[in-house]
Every structure is written in structure tokens, then in C-alpha cells.
Amino acid sequence: MKEIIANCPKWISDKLNILQATGFPIYLCGESVAAILFGGRFGPMNEPLTTEFLSPNIESNLLINKLNMLVPTIVWKPFIRRELGGLEDIFITMDDGYPTIKFPSTHIKNSLEQGIINCEGTTIEILKLAKNFPALIINNINPAQILTSQYEIARENQERLILKNFNMTPKVCFPEIHLREINTILEWHKNNPAQMEWIPAPSFGSNPSSNPWIDKDLPFRYWLLQQAEYAYQGNDIEIDLNIQKIIDLQLTEQKGTHQGWKTWQHSLNSTIRLETDHLPEQFRKPIRMAMLMHDIGKTNTRTVWTAGCHAAYGAKIWQKAKLNVTNQEETLISFIIKNHDILGSLDKTIKNPNLSSGISIEEVVLRIKDNPIGNSTLALKIIHSINDADIGSLSTLRYLLKLTPLLIKLVEAGLNSHTR
């Protein structure tokens, strides 16, 4: 049976059009199917980083060469049939001009739409599916999950309880000199309510140079994707020692944060979307490493629920990884982890000055000026890139990307007034 995909995301229709342009009958399958069926309901709404396709009776290498000629920035991957709890028999195609999903039976369709995966064994692929969509019921066992909305509600309740018990007055007062920027931010929130958005896959390049950590973004992403796939599947394939240490440090028992994801999953997805080409080459390695560890403070279950605490805690514990970095790189990594969510904290304080974790514009300015590279403008650019990669990799926060320039403008105004 088949049905038209309602509210089909643009990345699906775009890729189907690319496949049609080859002149061969080709279907999207695997992770793309999982994203359509489960994204936003049982886990994050992410476009898969690799695009699996199936074309009966056509040589895969021939198709990959043709697809790479059409769109080289997408990582194409021939579909290899494996146990996926019924997903392996579902395909997406363009039918009479409409993106259409084809199911082998009504029974499988109904089970998957309810988030129920029936499989014969717990394979690496099934475990990966469970990690990507933590709210799925696999073999009738529901993995531990904490959806973002539940986390935010608990956090807000915690704030209200503190205010009620201690009868606190507003913690943060903003000076009149910044009221114009603050009112602009409040007006933006009024006109842009929270909403979930699909996370598009980033563009990729070819193999990087001899030092991927300082290479351009596109080849670095391709290299990191290969590294991540090895680490994700738990294979014994040799990977970069720094990445192995970073991931190992985050493989702890922890509460899921971003729609049930563990910190290392979110960190990898945000780093693959990090923009550093506009930043000096010598800072790319510590910036990327910091992005890979920015939420490491959440691996401690006592701090994940304490507003504003995980960043400061993470800036201290990341050094347990014992990475191969210089003293200068070490101080920059700590600075970034400590301040990675400073723009978000400022925004939350503007909306609610009573937050126990509130931060003033003066404190933001002082923390930006207290950077280890001696350049506040460049430090703010780094935090800007970190912030956008962080929220831009989350379907529940991506809508805030359009707000970031307004927050940056406020901080720049604070820096300018502070130097007068």
C-alpha cells in the first residue's frame, strides 16, 4: 500500500527530484524512511546525514558517480538490506509528482506509526534506531527518555518553586541604554512562537588534508562523519584518538536531554553543522573540540537539572579526556564550553528577569571581554558560531536561529558602551 507524504519536508522532495534526474528508477530508504515516520514524534526531526538509496538492477557505483556529479555536497550511500524492524521494506518515491511512501502491509504501517518496532534480534542497526528515536518501543521495551518539553516544564517549575519559597525580587535589571534592543527581542518572541522545524543535513566535502582539525568545514565534516559512524556502531576500527577520548568521556549513565538524545549524539550533530571557515585557522581545532564537548556537564545527572550549571561544570571536567592540545588551545576550549549557552541564558533572562540562573548584559560583556585570545570581537564571533550550531541542530530550538542576530546586536552594544 502507498500514501502521499503529508507536509512533506523540502529535503525529501529535493532528493527525490535529484534521483529522478538520473533517469533511473531510484528510491529513498533506510534512515530517510525512519526520519519521516518517527521524526518529531519519537525523537528529533533530523534529515539523515547520509542518504540511502535503492535502485533495482542498476550498478551502485554508477549511480553514486552520477549522483555526485549532480550534487556532490550530499553523502549518497547504497542501501544495504538489514534488520530494521520492518523499515527495510518501506521506500519513498515520487509518484505522479507527489512524494509517496510505500508500505509492504497495513499491519507494518500501523505498528510503525505507533512507534512499535518488532524485530528478531537486537542488532547494531536496531540500537542505532533506538538512540536516534528514544521514544520508540522496541520489542515492547520503551527506552528511557526525557523529551525536551518535559525537561523545560520541570526546569520552569523549579524556577517558580525557588521564587515562591524565597520571595525573590527580580534578579536582573537591564539599563535603559539597552531598552531598545531588549524591546526588539521581546517583540520578536511575541511574533515568533516556539515551533519544531526539520533539521537539514549540512553540506559535505571530500577527504580532508593531513590535519582535518584545521581544514575547511566541508572536508572536516566528511571526516568527522566517517569517524562518528565508526564510534556510533561500536566497531573496533581505529579512529582519531582525540575523538575517541571525547566520546568515551560522555558514554556515561545520564538523563536524556534533547528529545532523549545523549550528549555525545547531540554534540556530534552540532559539530557537523558548525561554521568555522570565517574564523582564523589556528582556532578551528579548539573550537571544534569545544563543540564536541559543549554539553559534557550534562553527563552528571546532578547538574543537568540545575539551570545554568552544566556549562560551568563542563568547563572543568572536560580536561579528564586528556586531549592532545596546547596550553593556549586548552584555555580557549574551557572559555567556549563555559560560555556556549551565554546567548540563550541572556535571552531567557530578558523574557523572565526572575530566573535564578539569570544573567545581566554587564556579566555577558565581562565574560566575553575575559577571553583568552585578546579580541572581544573575535570571541563573540566564536560564541555566535557555537550558539548557532548548538540550537541549529535541534528541531525544538532551530526556530531561534533568526533571533541570534538580535542578541548579538545587544551584546555588541554592551561591549561598545563598556569601552567608552
CA angle at residue 296 from 293 to 297, to 5 degrees? 140
| Closest CA relative to residue 15, chosen from 70, 79, 87, 89 | 70
pLDDT score of 130: 83
399 within 8 A of 197, measured Cβ to Cβ:
yes
**What is the Cα–Cα distance from 238 to 258, expressed in whole angstroms?**
29
- C-alpha grid cell for residue 376? 572581544
pTM for the structure as a whole: 0.83
Claim to verify: residue 71 and residue 177 sit in the same structural domain: no
Q: Note whether 111 and 171 are same-domain residues.
A: no
CA dist 294 and 206 (Å) reads 26
At residue 68, φ and ψ (nearest 5 deg) are: -65, -30
Whether 219 and 281 share a structural domain: yes
> Cell numbers of 229, please?
559512524
Whole-number pLDDT of residue 150: 44
Among 380, 391, 378, 390, which Cα is nearest to 414's? Answer: 380
Asked if the structure places residue 155 within a domain, the reply is no
Burial class (CB in 10 A: 0-12, 13-18, 19+), 182: middle
User: Strands 27-28 and 98-102: what pairing?
Assistant: unpaired
Same domain assignment for residues 407 and 332: yes
Radius of gyration, CA atoms only, the chain? 23
- 307 and 255 inside one domain: yes
Query: Are 133 and 92 found together in one domain?
Result: yes
C-alpha cell, 334 = 574551557
Same domain? For 132 and 175 the reply is no
* Residue 194 included in any domain: yes
Domain carrying residue 104: 2-138
In a domain, 154, yes or no: no
List the CATH number of the domain containing 133.
Answer: 3.30.460
Number of domains making up the chain: 2
Q: Are both 224 and 343 inside the same structural domain?
A: yes
* Domain assignment present for 150: no
* Residues 12 and 131 reside in one and the same domain: yes
**Residue 307 pLDDT:** 57
Query: Would 274 be classed as within a structural domain?
Result: yes
- Average pLDDT by stretches of 10, the chain with 420 residues: 89 93 91 93 90 87 88 90 85 92 92 85 77 80 43 46 44 78 94 91 86 94 84 59 90 73 89 96 97 90 64 90 94 96 93 82 94 97 98 93 97 84
Helix (H, G, I), strand (E, B) or coil at 50: strand
pLDDT for 289 equals: 97
Quick check: is 176 in a domain?
A: yes
> Do 183 and 105 have their domain in common?
no
Q: Which residues contact 386 (CB under 8 A, 6 or more apart)?
A: 274, 287, 290, 291, 294, 336, 340
* Statement to judge: residues 121 and 214 lie in one domain: no
Residue 171's pLDDT is 59
* 244 and 134 assigned to the same domain: no
- Give the pLDDT score at 80: 84
Asked if 16 and 99 touch (Cβ cutoff 8 Å), the reply is: yes
Q: What is the pLDDT of residue 167?
A: 43
